[in-house]
Each structure stands twice: as C-alpha cells, then as structure tokens.
C-alpha cells in the first residue's frame, strides 16, 4: 500500500514537471522546464491548491534516492583527464562552494519554515 502511495505521488509530481515543460514552450526563457514545474509546485503549495500530504511521501522517496541520479554523472567524469588538470581543480572548488551555499540556504529556509510552523502550533 505504501509503495502505491509513493508511486502515485511521484506521478503527481511529474504532472508539475510536464506543466513546467508546457510553460517553457509558452515562455522561452533560459530556465529549465523542471524549474518552471518546481515553481508551479511551490505556488500550488503556498496557495494551498494542493496539500503537502499529497506529495510528501513521494518527494521524500525521491530525496532518499537522489544519489542514484548523480552516479551516472560521476562515472562519466572519470573518463575525462582534464578534471585532474588546473581547470578541473577550479571546477571542483566551484562545485564545492556552490554546494555549501545551497546547503546553507536550504538550512536557513528550513529553519524559517519550521520556526513558522512551531509558532502557528502554539
């Protein structure tokens, strides 16, 4: 039963991906279609058009399996000797810095959201 719920929720999340792709066709901005879909999902959650429970388990499963999506990229990088050169070191440092920034921003936003939820509960 739980697996069925997760599958349905992942499919529901894909609806927003497809809506984002359609929106990308209407507004050809240099933004990936998945970002359009993520923004639409964000708006739908903010305006309570959809409930968090409708996508939470599917999103948690996708986050838990996120590493699997990066393994093909990591294996592909091994084929390029340039990664070990000076330019490769610069790229690795840039990836490290951007990762720290994303993690920090995610932590700040999560802290604000959980603080807001705690204040609403009391």
Domain boundary assignment for the chain: 1-64, 70-122
Per-residue b or e along 92-116, where b marks 16 or more CB atoms closer than 10 Å to that residue's CB = eeeeeeeeeeeeeeeeeeeeeeeee
Evaluate if pTM is beyond 0.75.
Answer: no
**What are the CA-CA distances from residue 31 to residues 23, 95, 101, 105 (Å)?**
11, 20, 20, 20
Whether residue 87 has pLDDT greater than 70 = yes
Question: How do residues 27-48 score in pLDDT, each as one tens digit?
Answer: 888 888 889 999 999 999 999 9
Whether residue 75 has pLDDT greater than 90 = no
Whether residue 114 has pLDDT greater than 70 = yes
């Amino acid at each position: 039963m739980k697996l069925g719920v997760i599958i349905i929720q992942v499919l529901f999340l894909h609806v927003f991906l497809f809506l984002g792709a359609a929106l990308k066709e209407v507004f050809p901005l240099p933004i990936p279609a998945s970002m359009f879909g993520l923004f639409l999902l964000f708006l739908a959650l903010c305006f309570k058009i959809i409930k968090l429970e409708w996508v939470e388990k599917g999103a948690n499963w996708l986050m838990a399996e996120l590493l699997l999506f990066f393994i093909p990229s990591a294996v592909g990088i091994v084929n390029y000797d340039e990664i070990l050169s000076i330019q490769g070191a610069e790229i690795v440092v840039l990836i490290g810095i951007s990762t720290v920034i994303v993690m920090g921003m995610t932590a700040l936003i999560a802290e604000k959201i959980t603080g807001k939820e705690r204040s609403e509960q009391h």
